[in-house]
Structure 1
Amino acid sequence: MIRKVVSASVIVTLAASTLAACSGSGSNGQAVGTTKDTSKPGEAKSMPKIYIYQNTGALNQKPEGSVPEKLEEMKKMYMEKLNIEPVAIVPPKGSEGEKLNLLLGSKDEIDTFQGAWDEYAPKGAIIPLNDLLDKYGQDVKKAWPQEAWDYMKDKDGKIWGVPRGVPSVHYPVWVRSDWMKKLNLKMPQTVDELEAVLKAFKEQDPDGNGKADTIPMMTDLNGIKNGLMGGFVEYGNSNWMDPADNKLKPVELAPGFKDFVAKMADWYQKGYIYKEAFAKFDPLELLKTNRVGTSSMWYSRVTLLFPQIKPGLPPEADYEIIRNLQGPKGKLITATAANTSAMVITKKAKHPDAVMKFINHQYQDLPTNSLNAAFGTNWKYVGNSKSEIELLNKDIAYAGEYMVSLGLATENKYSFNDPVKKMHADYLNKEILNLSIAKMPVDATIMYDKKLLQEKIPTLGDLDRLRNEELVKFVTGARPVSDFDKYIDQLYKAGLDKWIEEYTRQYNERKK
């Protein structure tokens, strides 16, 4: 049955998010997809080349990159249609940022890449796009809502990038519904009821392997902050305005934060939270063990990974979202605000108009052109609708080196007729923009000046590190919760007063 899809907004094209989460990789950071000059002697070379640094995540479907012949085929297609020759630069896996900085600082050509525009604009590495969008990017402009463009603008109204997202729900709590049925448990609605489910999973061997090795909750640092904290803190994982002095303060100073810490520490001590949650671990390998009862990690850790390993699990195995979970202070989930991540055009670009034309083409005739950029000729529509597609060959030949139209402006325009990809597509089409189930950060729409923050708060890096490291220590028991007041004193000694002063100043200056 063909599913109806909703209108646009937020992170990655299903090409990139089906593949999700990390940058594309390649051999040695070399430009690929170039061709010999075929112009005749004396003939003007009028076809511009544009150099695409492919760090968007589009290559996750095939990290090693395309079969050369297929990449050449795609390049020629763009040359014929747009009179533009795209050249893909595939960065070395694990050092994408280093390679990017080297290219930006060298004489080598690089025209467009994905990055936080407010990091690169102050360095003079990229250009504003207002005029280019007006002249050559009409389809890009129409594809994204105004709230997405707001994250792309500086205080003077200059637009520095093509959006990647809008506020979204990234950290739902999933539960093994077959285990719930097996243990005759009802779907939890409160933190206490969720705790009872975790306890049952821990003690009643729902996987039936005869061992007390069930993992009641798979999570990580961001998972507990964005998926659970809201039940204990009024504004969730967010800065908040203290009515006592009208100053913006970090969540650690909010009423209820200590209660959240104590609850997480209690769950960890009881074995409800995976013992390696705050170290590096492989969620895919963990799910393969058939021991994970719930997850509060980034949604794709379930939507992308679970369908891959489901055939090796009992046929009834399934995960469902626990809806309407409430804590003492309301909803558990905190929505993820949009950010400054964008497709940007470099100051070095010799043909910025061609770059914008190339990007704009992928926003035309949606989702067809974005699907071509992602999958080449290896896909087709199911039936007569443009709402469902299927891949023609599981052996990927074209990997997506020319994909630049990332985000829900393109990706929730379609779904896959594929059991492995269906769960992820359903989440993007039906769940990710349902902000009613989450708390919105107080300063979600505030574009802080990162450079100025670093200047005004010399210890900003130390504060960020302390906030993460000490939370992990509290939860894992490496530091007793009774030390919480000492921890707050530690933050002040590290410069929290300056943090509060500068964040409050910028918040008041920028709030609408």
Structure 2
Amino acid sequence: MPLVLTAILMSGCSSDLLEQEDPRGHDPKWDDPPQSISIAINGQSSTFPPGLDENHNPYLDFIEKNTNLDVQVMLPPVNGYVDKLNVIMASGQLPDMINTGSAAFLSNYVKQGALKPLDEYIDKYGPDLKRLIPQEAWDQVTMNGKIYAVPSLNEVMGTQIMYVRKDWLDRLGLQPPRTIGEYREVMRAFAENDPDGNGKADTLGFSIADQLGRTAPIFGAFGTQQNSWYERNGTLVYSATLPETKKALAFLAELYRDNLLDPDFPLNTTESLGDKVASGKVGLYAAAWFDTRGPIERSRANDSRANWIPLDYPTGLDGQKGTYGISAVRSYNVVPATSDRAEAVVKLLNFIGGKGNKTLKLGLENEVWSSKDGKMVTDFEQHNKHLYRGIYSSLCDTVVPEVTKQRLDSLGERFRLWDNVQSIHANLIKAHYTGAPTPAMGSYNFKLLKIQDDYFTKIVMGLSPLDDFDRFVEVWKQEGGDEITKEINDWYAAQRR
């Protein structure tokens, strides 16, 4: 069942989550002394207020009081995090739980027999996990018929939505574009007709990020997305090998040839793309849903005339449109086979994803936020001071729509965050493979994605002819793609039995 629908269906029972344990209230009474467990998690470059750290702060106190656990937190370096986890796995000094965003990490260590199956512990100690995590997510952590991780969910199932400077449209007498052809004409006008009125040729028609980042709505107009698996004639095929992808690349190559696409896109990080938006060089791009509080807000601060509005997704010749649908799973919590504390790990995650969810996600009530006239009001100074709480809440994120809306609206309704998310969810082009990473994926994906990026970037820049796409398809198949495709379709056949 899709995550969004699951979240809606479970809204009737989510009142349990709105009655949170009080982190400032009484200690539950426990008959047994606290059980110690150690966990290695991603610190997300978080900073702690003076006197606090990952093992001494009110949010960890909140977790420990309500679970009767003594949690020892390890924060491997954020840079090279997965590499450090590999070192830990080889060290013989393993924690009781490891959190990773790498599907390959999960797949590789299951193959090696280095991770503990968790089915019996989830059945006994994870009632909220079973209730709040949809089957789609459990499928992604199930291998050989066993569950090897507790998944943390993506609260938002996609990222990109088109935004445009309406003041530029108005200056040039243009209407908001709807079709892919109309989008091209707006790009041309923004590149050639001085939309900011400063008399200089210093604006870009359209900008994207490196590795063809921030192009999901463009690919959507051709009925596909990058790096997904779709059904064609009863079998699953990799989207990057489809004729639809070749057409999308041809469109982007035409933009580049006609000087409508940012010529420096291969050098654009997400941050540098945001800087171009904020500085007034870009007036049309595929924004992340939260960019209205980021580069778009900075653009408004830099230029009071900047009036950004969301657009309909560009519609292609066949009426197709949409954006990339991301995995239901954000990260994986695994228990090394050497640990005898899987029970405690599941209890920890059951609380974080269940009764502890609201406090850990939103912050301490009446300190970070409060209720006023039925709405959540955030103290942004305290909110920012308490951002480190995310290292705990993200371990087992679950989706409760009313909590999500409260949180997003409290950050400022003018940013349209909730509306942006709803627009994305209504226009997802969903992948048809939702299983765990296959062994061949673990072996070949890194190399194949590098090959794909090299071919696609050269095609868009005109350094290689469009027909090199067909050569890419052959190389992809020979370098492991055929093996991955077989495993994917074995899974698909098993799902339909």
Q: TM-score, normalised by structure 2?
A: 0.79
Question: Conserved in 2, the CA contact under 8 Å of 1:124 and 1:347?
Answer: yes
1:184 and 2:179 correspond: no
Question: Conserved in 1, the CA contact under 8 Å of 2:376 and 2:410?
Answer: no
Question: Conserved in 2, the CA contact under 8 Å of 1:7 and 1:413?
Answer: no
Question: Conserved in 2, the CA contact under 8 Å of 1:227 and 1:332?
Answer: yes
1:354 and 2:344 correspond: yes
Counterparts in 2 of 1:415 and 1:472: CA distance versus 1, 3 Å: same
Question: Conserved in 2, the CA contact under 8 Å of 1:128 and 1:161?
Answer: no
Q: Select which of 406, 410, 413 maps to 2:397.
A: 406
Secondary structure of the equivalent of 2:392?
coil
Partner of 2:51: 68
CA distance in 2, matches of 1:358, 1:495: 39
Secondary structure of the equivalent of 1:393?
helix
- What is the alpha-carbon root mean square deviation over aligned residues? 3.6
CA distance in 2, matches of 1:334, 1:241: 16
Secondary structure of the equivalent of 2:309?
strand
Partner of 1:48: 35
CA distance in 1, matches of 2:294, 2:414: 12
Aligned AA (2:452) = R
CA distance in 1, matches of 2:387, 2:324: 37
1:168 and 2:153 correspond: no
Question: Residue 482 of structure 1: CA displacement?
Answer: 4.5
1:286 and 2:241 correspond: no
Deviations 1:164-211 (A, max 9, x none): 238823222222233223323212111000111111111122233332
Secondary structure of the equivalent of 1:412?
helix
Counterparts in 2 of 1:483 and 1:510: CA distance versus 1, 3 Å: same
CA distance in 2, matches of 1:280, 1:337: 24
1:507 and 2:489 correspond: no
Secondary structure of the equivalent of 1:466?
helix
Deviations 1:106-162 (A, max 9, x none): 243423332233343333343233222232222222223333333332351535223
Counterparts in 2 of 1:87 and 1:490: CA distance versus 1, 3 Å: closer
Counterparts in 2 of 1:56 and 1:197: CA distance versus 1, 3 Å: farther
Secondary structure of the equivalent of 1:163?
strand
1:360-375 alignment, distance < 5 Å:
360-365=350-355, 367-371=357-361
Question: Residue 346 of structure 1: CA displacement?
Answer: 3.2
1:260 and 2:251 correspond: no
Partner of 1:83: 68
Q: TM-score, normalised by structure 1?
A: 0.76
Counterparts in 2 of 1:149 and 1:433: CA distance versus 1, 3 Å: farther
Deviations 1:42-90 (A, max 9, x none): xx99322222323174x5xxx3344334762424444444322222222
More helix by share: 2
Partner of 1:276: 264
Question: Conserved in 2, the CA contact under 8 Å of 1:201 and 1:215?
Answer: yes
1:464 and 2:449 correspond: yes
1:89-168 alignment, distance < 5 Å:
89-115=74-100, 116=103, 117-158=106-147, 160-165=149-154, 168=157
1:336 and 2:336 correspond: no
1:194 and 2:183 correspond: yes
Question: Conserved in 1, the CA contact under 8 Å of 2:160 and 2:217?
Answer: yes
Question: Residue 471 of structure 1: CA displacement?
Answer: 0.6
CA distance in 2, matches of 1:426, 1:337: 20
CA distance in 2, matches of 1:218, 1:407: 34
Secondary structure of the equivalent of 1:127?
coil
CA distance in 2, matches of 1:253, 1:129: 36
- Greater displacement, 464-473 / 387-396: 387-396
1:207-226 alignment, distance < 5 Å:
207-220=196-209, 221-223=211-213, 226=216
Question: Residue 225 of structure 1: CA displacement?
Answer: 5.4
Question: Conserved in 2, the CA contact under 8 Å of 1:118 and 1:340?
Answer: no
Question: Residue 327 of structure 1: CA displacement?
Answer: 0.5
CA distance in 2, matches of 1:407, 1:428: 20
Question: Conserved in 2, the CA contact under 8 Å of 1:76 and 1:85?
Answer: no
Deviations 1:90-116 (A, max 9, x none): 222312112222222224342333223
Q: Which sections of structure 1, spanning at least 5 residues, go unmatched?
A: 10-43
Question: Conserved in 1, the CA contact under 8 Å of 2:168 and 2:195?
Answer: yes
Question: Residue 485 of structure 1: CA displacement?
Answer: 4.0
Aligned AA (1:277) = F
CA distance in 2, matches of 1:140, 1:428: 28
Question: Residue 253 of structure 1: CA displacement?
Answer: 4.1
Partner of 1:26: none
